[in-house]
Amino acid sequence: MGPAKFIVGIGGSAGGLAAYAALLDALPPHTGMAFVIVAHLMPSANSQLVQILSRHTKMKVMLAASDLTIRENHVYVIPPDADLRMERNVFKVVSPRTGRNKQIDLFLTSLAEAMGADAIGIILSGYDGDGTEGCRQIKAKGGTTFAQDMSADVEQMPRSAQASGSIDFVLSPKDIADELQRLATCRS
């Protein structure tokens, strides 16, 4: 499998696990896209996110690591207590993280820089406004953005992103998966 043509940055916090699972459940394993899940995790967390999400997809799910090439049909998860960025289709991981609840903006901004119109940002359930600035950056570079609809357990993050005017689609995780498949087909 080669480098991903599209990279999808997915941000979430409280209530995000159910949304990640629903999104992955609805995605086929061969979209040609790479999926990067940037979850708000406690710095000391012994995260089981990779193992949990592996049960919801046939794609390979793994922790992101510095200098790891981002490949199509893979799902990557941010490590606990880390900032995650990308440059030229590889991850850059900085640990410990530089601040609380800004990991989504950091990753989405680097995604916008690296991928331009081939960047896709998704904001799912969570508190606060992390991800809003990252979606602005993706839109400014011609990429595509999504926010979870009222199906979000915690609506603050998706609503903040919507209020910024930088969201293309407001949908449930299953409908986001359907639209991603349509985008992949249209642009391939």
Helix (H) or strand (E) holding 156: helix 156-163
What is the pLDDT confidence band of residue 188, given thresholds at 50, 70 and 90? low
pLDDT of 182 over the 90 cut: yes
pTM above threshold 0.85:
yes
CA distance 167 to 8: 14
| pLDDT at residue 1 in the model | 63
pLDDT tens, 153-180? 999 999 999 999 999 999 999 999 999 9
Distances (CA, A) of 120 to 55, 100, 117, 123, 148: 24, 23, 8, 10, 14
Tell me the CATH number for domain 6-187. 3.40.50.180
Residue 44 has pLDDT above 80, yes or no: no
47 pLDDT tier (thresholds 50, 70, 90): confident
- Domain boundaries, given as residue ranges, for the chain: 6-187
